[in-house]
């Protein structure tokens, strides 16, 4: 499980050093893709394969399904971290998420998100007040 918030920096080649506590989860490979909130979402390769299999069960006769799958899969990149735990963030994903140098790596359970540091601060500030209010809507009957 990926937890916590980390603030590494991208180097001049667009490489990110994964937080040490996340490296084992990505050692066998990872998949990066566009997240819904102008972030990059990162799955362990096996988790992404399971996710893709579930998505492929949706009816491709639905135009919204086809559009979602096209955007997700066409903008996805697979990679294996190097020995120092570095991954190169593709230019297309860096541009999509507005990443420059200062980034935030956020654990999100089975995935990790990579955000521009300023965008993350703004997003978090806009969500914190409603956090306790929305728990019953998001997970009714569980909490």
* Fold designation for 5-138: Chemotaxis protein chec (3.40.1550)
pLDDT digits (tens, 9 = 90+) for 105-134: 999 999 999 999 999 999 999 888 777 777
3-state helix, strand, coil in the chain (%, to 5): 40, 25, 35
Which residue ranges of the chain lie beneath pLDDT 50? none
Which run of H or of E encompasses 54?
Answer: helix 45-55
Q: In whole angstroms, give the CA distance from residue 18 to residue 2.
A: 12
Which sequence spans correspond to the domains of the chain?
5-138
Q: 15 Cβ partners below 8 Å, 6+ apart?
A: 86, 87, 88, 89
- Of 79, 75, 77, 76, the closest CA to residue 29 belongs to 79
């Amino acid at each position: 499980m990926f937890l916590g918030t980390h603030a590494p920096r991208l180097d001049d080649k667009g490489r990110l050093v994964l937080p040490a506590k996340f490296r084992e989860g990505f050692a066998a490979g990872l998949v990066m893709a566009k997240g819904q909130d102008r972030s990059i979402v990162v799955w362990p390769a096996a988790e992404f394969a399971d996710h893709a299999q579930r998505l492929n069960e949706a009816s491709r006769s639905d135009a919204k399904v086809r559009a979602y799958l096209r955007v997700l899969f066409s903008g996805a990149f697979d990679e294996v971290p190097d020995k120092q735990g570095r991954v190169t963030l593709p230019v297309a994903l860096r541009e999509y998420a507005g990443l420059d140098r200062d980034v935030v790596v956020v654990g999100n359970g089975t995935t990790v998100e990579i955000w521009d540091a300023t965008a993350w601060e703004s997003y978090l500030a806009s969500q914190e007040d409603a956090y306790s209010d929305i728990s019953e809507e998001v997970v009714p009957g569980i909490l």
